[in-house]
Amino acid sequence: MSENKEQNSIPTSKVERSAKFIKTGFQVGGNYIKHYSKKLFNPDLDKTQLNEDNAADIYNSLSELKGSALKVAQMLSMDKNLLPTAYVDKFSQSQYNAPPLSGPLIVQTFKKYFGKTPDKIYDKFNLKSTNAASIGQVHQAELNGKKLAVKIQYPGVGDSISSDLKLVKPFAFRLLGMSEKELDIYMREVEERLLEETDYELEVRRSIEFSNACANLDTIVFPEYFPQLSSKRIITMSWLDGMHLKEFLATNPSQELRDKIGQALWDFYNFQEHELRAVHADPHPGNFLITPEGNLGIIDFGCIKEMPEDFYYPFFALTSTNLLENKEETIKAFRELEMILPGDTPQQVEFFYGMYKQMIGLFAKPYLSETFDFSQTAFFDDLFSFGEKVARMPEFKQARGVKHFIYVNRTNFGLYNILHDLKACVKTDTYKPHLLAV
């Protein structure tokens, strides 16, 4: 049960939402003034308190606005390289602990999309949400003796994506330190996925399609979806009992069970990437449950990333073969993926070849052996320290890489992080990439 105080209203107009951002901008500005005033008297003062104050103010504002702005915060919290710890800790609350909307707002949504209140649709409907995230919240219901989960989208979320992302851009610009062009590519790809994610009719279709396609996987369970009880902004599915990852880990599960759940996650993602060429691209812990039977429940298919062939083949050739040992072919793949650009000088080609080869060599380690132990901290320390090094390099301020990297990298690093939290050891050769014959 969410313990956060309920919200009785949500700003939906552009004017209301931009006013909220402006107010937050003033608060953040005030935090900087306070920090630098203190620094006058204490030159050794670090930015820990400043980051905590800014993270709290930005998160509180975004959690009231809901929607795409909060979703961006959630995405950033999953990439531990991009933000200071204070932001990661605060923004990760949006994964399954945002302030819920009050009962009257929920009833209004039902009246708008079904023309009747929830008590006229279900035998039982709990107006208190069990779970509130960035785009919607979940309520428990019952119909014909069947326990249901009803996901309801926050009012105005689907209509305010473009304007919200324009408003969140200055915060993202300051936090991420990306170039203007790189940030534009990032925001355009995020906008495209969010427009899909707020279309609940599309999500129901995809959920049925993907759960059917993945039905052959061991240890994985999916809810049943009910299109006739769903709409553009409401999804009804069967209720899955289980614990989120944090709760599950608090029970001190056996290594055998950790490995079993880790294997299910690995197979779920690699089956989709290599057999479906489309992947559940939102691997944050709020989208998974560990059931009492020790299975992995997948409860959200809102964000799907399709991988076109001109991305899939060069990308997985680099990560899953010995292609990196062939310099000429590696550079050719880097050019196809726009990691090396047509206008690069010979010196730049050499520099980016060396950096990307090192980066991919690190990332691909789990794929290059039959099993991989994700509990090892050295692997993650190497990944994060290399990421931090690259983030500080002026050469990487220019946008590089096709747009598909944004969600594919997010998916794979999100998977790695969950497997690390599980301290799981998994067989990594279960679903292999399909590569073009040379």
Q: Three-state SS for 211?
A: helix
Strand intervals (E) in 43-144: 124-125, 131-132, 136-143
Summarised one tens digit per residue, pLDDT across range 210-238 is 999 999 999 999 999 999 999 999 999 99
Task: Determine contact, residues 273/279, Cβ cutoff 8 Å.
Answer: yes
Domain residue ranges in the chain: 14-95+161-176, 102-153+199-239, 241-438
The chain-wide mean pLDDT, for the chain, equals 81
pLDDT of residue 436 exceeding 90, the answer is no
At residue 309 the predicted structure's pLDDT band, cuts being 50, 70 and 90, is very high
Confidence at residue 61, expressed as pLDDT on a 0 to 100 scale = 61
Summarised one tens digit per residue, pLDDT across range 351-400 is 999 999 998 888 889 988 899 999 999 998 898 888 778 877 888 766 68
Which has the higher per-residue pLDDT, 134 or 412?
412
Cα-Cα end-to-end distance for the chain: 55
Q: Three-state SS for 300?
A: coil
| Residue 114 burial (C-beta neighbours within 10 Å; 0-12, 13-18, 19+) | middle
pTM for the model stands at 0.77
Which residues are CB-neighbours of 108 under 8 A, at least 6 positions away? 155
pLDDT of residue 43 exceeding 80, the answer is no
pLDDT of residue 417 exceeding 80, the answer is yes
Which has the higher per-residue pLDDT, 157 or 419?
419
Which has the higher per-residue pLDDT, 1 or 35?
35
Mean pLDDT, residues 95-99 taken together:
50
Summarised one tens digit per residue, pLDDT across range 237-292 is 999 999 999 999 999 999 999 999 999 999 999 999 999 999 998 888 888 999 99
Confidence at residue 96, expressed as pLDDT on a 0 to 100 scale = 44
Mean pLDDT, residues 49-74 taken together:
60
Q: What is the CATH number of domain 102-153+199-239?
A: 3.30.200
Confidence at residue 38, expressed as pLDDT on a 0 to 100 scale = 58
- The amino acid present at 174, given as its one-letter code, is R
Confidence at residue 62, expressed as pLDDT on a 0 to 100 scale = 61
**Rounded Cα distance, 66 and 329, in Å:** 45
